[in-house]
A and B are shown apart, each in its own frame.
Chain A
Amino acid sequence: MSDAPVLRMESVRKTFGGTVVLRDVGLEVAPHTVTALIGASGSGKSTLLRCANLLEEIDDGAIWLDDEEITDPRVDQDAVRRRIGVVFQAYNLFPHMTVLDNITLAPRRVDGVSRGEAEERARELLERLGLGGKAGEYPDRLSGGQQQRVAIVRALAVRPRLLLFDEITAALDPELVGEVLTVVRDLKDDGMTMVLATHEMGFARDVADQVCFLDSGVVLERGTAEQIFGDPQEERTRRFLKRIVEAGRL
């Protein structure tokens, strides 16, 4: 893992109105690794991901994608977003389009791939994620787990350098969580670089190379999964994990 980091954040600050959401965030994500962001609701996990994808403009600090500073105002933001895929908690599929059109929209309109080629790749990805028969369906005909897998395919279709997952299982019924997490595991095996904000601690422990505990807008503690879950150094991390264990979520 001596390669240059795919994503690097330094002293990132973000406020909404008077509320400081990210105070001073630093983060490095090495290629082909999985980083899990954990922390209480409102600790800034989602905001961190939205800032990394330039959906939110940061107040201070800087973010690099493959050694290019993407927070430089001269950067073409649309081109940056194309290199970063995002999967949202609420799927955010386009309800007026079929599954296939959802997936091929960006490759066709942004990258100028022909319809035939885009659809071929989309079908291939759908097949791989066990959604082979769903290409012609509209999103509202699918279960939550299926919709979220389609959202993952949609993000993959633009061949992103980095994937951001924002609480992708939080809106799912418990029995559907597994099918989505399996997909994430497969992507890790393929060497995809991923950052995921999650409440699934067990999953974070299994799959993450690096775990970051966010608290009050800073990365309070970071380390391998064993370090964070096995031997947390910070009092707040310990308290957070204790609450999780008490709630039966670990």
Chain B
Amino acid sequence: MTVTKEESGQEGADDNGDMSGDGDGYVPSRRRIEREAFKRARTRRATAIAALSTLVTGVVLYLVVVNAPGWPRTRETFFNGQYAREAFPKVLEGLWLNVRLLLVCGVAVLVLGMLIAIARTLRGPVFFPLRVLAAAYTDFFRGLPLIINLMIVVLGVPALRLQGVTVDPVLLGGTALTLTYSAYVAEVFRAGIESVHPSQRAAARSLGLTNRQALRYVVLPQAVRRQVPPLLNDLVSLQKDTGLVSIGGAIDAVRAADIIVGRSLNYTPYIVAGLVFVALTIPMTRFTDWVTARMDRQRAQGGAI
């Protein structure tokens, strides 16, 4: 009798299931109680070990840094409280520019990336030039270092002195970011489109949908859904790379820090700017993790997707 009962209680064991019974007179067996006591002890032991090793590592790192011969000087140059206080509001003010850049470039990147991805997956000889162009675009801009792209666009375009073309470093910097990131995002979208099984397209076409309708209603929705985690990852990356527009002179968080450094010859503002970026990125990264985990769970529940 006890043996059969015990089996039925097995799956509830982890979430403290029906130890008290569901009114069916179930009483946990001694075997189950012992097993769970052992599991709890094991978890406690593992947590203790993890905490201890973290502490030890932290202390060792601290001692190594603090006892370094140049530490007093480094602390003065990089971790100066007075400069930190002075830099913080200015950096924050500059950060607003980074946030706006992220929003505008993010949208532009998603739209452009999607168009390029679609161009790359078009079939038929008519679209050959478009396909080649899209492939050349992604190859080129994924290979070109972002910093060089930025310098070419932000410094090169104004040098042309074209009538009616902006010389605003923010607009030009944003353009450069969009160019590079669209190439990455296009590849993410393309991978998504190609991951949708051909039978889905066949089913759509068999219903009389045109190629375009099949893409729009059947293939793309599935592709985009699957690619949300890698897309968010690229957006996190874009978020911190908005700091690079400072090379054109736009006053963003990095440039704001730069100005104070130039005046004071103290590097603390850079540390402040760096931490501000990290602080901005963390919620985004956590959000990415959350979305990924949620989608994995749904997939696990839904079975075949």
Contacts and interface: CB of A to CB of B under 8 A. Distances in A.
Contacts of B205: 55, 78, 81
**Residue from A84, A93, A106, A141 with most neighbouring chain B CB atoms (10 Å):** A106
Interface stretch (B35-43, B140-148, B213-221, B237-245): B213-221
B207 A110 contact: yes
A53 B206 contact: yes
Given A95-B305, A96-B225, A140-B302, A82 B208 contact: yes
B303 interface: yes
B200 A158 contact: no
A74 interface: no
Contacts of B225: 96
B222 interface: yes
Contacts of B202: 50, 55, 88, 92
A96 B222 contact: yes
Nearest to A82: B208
A55 B199 CA distance: 11
Nearest to A77: B205
B210 interface: yes
B221 A88 contact: no
Interface in A79-135: 79, 81-86, 88, 90, 92-96, 105-106, 109-110
Contacts of B207: 81-82, 85, 105-106, 110, 154-155, 158
Given A96-B222, A105-B217, A88 B302 contact: no
A81 B208 contact: yes
B126 interface: no
Given A109-B213, A109-B217, A140 B203 contact: no
Nearest to B213: A109
A138 interface: yes
B202 to A, nearest CB: 6
A235 to B, nearest CB: 36
B200 A110 contact: no
- Taking residues whose C-beta sits less than 8 angstroms from the other chain, chain B's interface range is 20 to 34
**Residue from B207, B225, B302 with most neighbouring chain A CB atoms (10 Å):** B207
B218 A110 contact: no
A78 B209 CA distance: 7
Interface in B221-263: 221-222, 225
Contacts of B221: 96
Contact of A138 (B213, B222, B302): B302
Nearest to A89: B199
Contact of A55 (B206, B218, B302): B206
**Residue from B202, B221, B303 with most neighbouring chain A CB atoms (10 Å):** B202
Contacts of A110: 207-209, 213
A110 B302 CA distance: 29
Contact of B208 (A138, A140, A158): A158
**Residue from B206, B213, B225 with most neighbouring chain A CB atoms (10 Å):** B206
A48 B217 CA distance: 27
B208 A86 contact: no
Nearest to A140: B302
B304 interface: yes
A176 B213 CA distance: 33
Contacts of B206: 53, 55, 81, 84-86, 155
Contact of B203 (A78, A92, A138, A141): A92
Interface string B178-213: 000000000000000000000110111111111001
B200 A92 contact: yes
Contacts of A85: 206-207
Contacts of A55: 202, 205-206
Nearest to A108: B217
A78 B208 contact: yes
Contacts of A92: 199-200, 202-203
Nearest to A92: B203
Contacts of A81: 205-208
B209 A88 contact: no
A140 B303 contact: yes
A4 B205 CA distance: 27
Nearest to B222: A96
B209 A94 contact: no
**Residue from A53, A83, A94, A95 with most neighbouring chain B CB atoms (10 Å):** A95
Given A95-B222, A105-B209, 18 more contacts: A50-B202, A53-B206, A55-B205, A82-B207, A83-B208, A88-B203, A92-B202, A94-B200, A94-B203, A94-B204, A95-B302, A95-B304, A96-B222, A109-B209, A140-B303, A141-B302, A155-B207, A158-B207
Interface of A: 50, 53, 55, 78-79, 81-86, 88, 90, 92-96, 105-106, 109-110, 138, 140-141, 154-155, 158
30 contacts: A53-B206, A55-B202, A55-B205, A55-B206, A78-B205, A78-B208, A81-B206, A81-B207, A84-B206, A85-B207, A92-B199, A92-B203, A93-B203, A94-B203, A94-B222, A95-B222, A95-B304, A96-B221, A96-B225, A105-B207, A105-B218, A106-B208, A106-B209, A109-B209, A110-B207, A110-B209, A140-B302, A140-B305, A155-B206, A158-B208
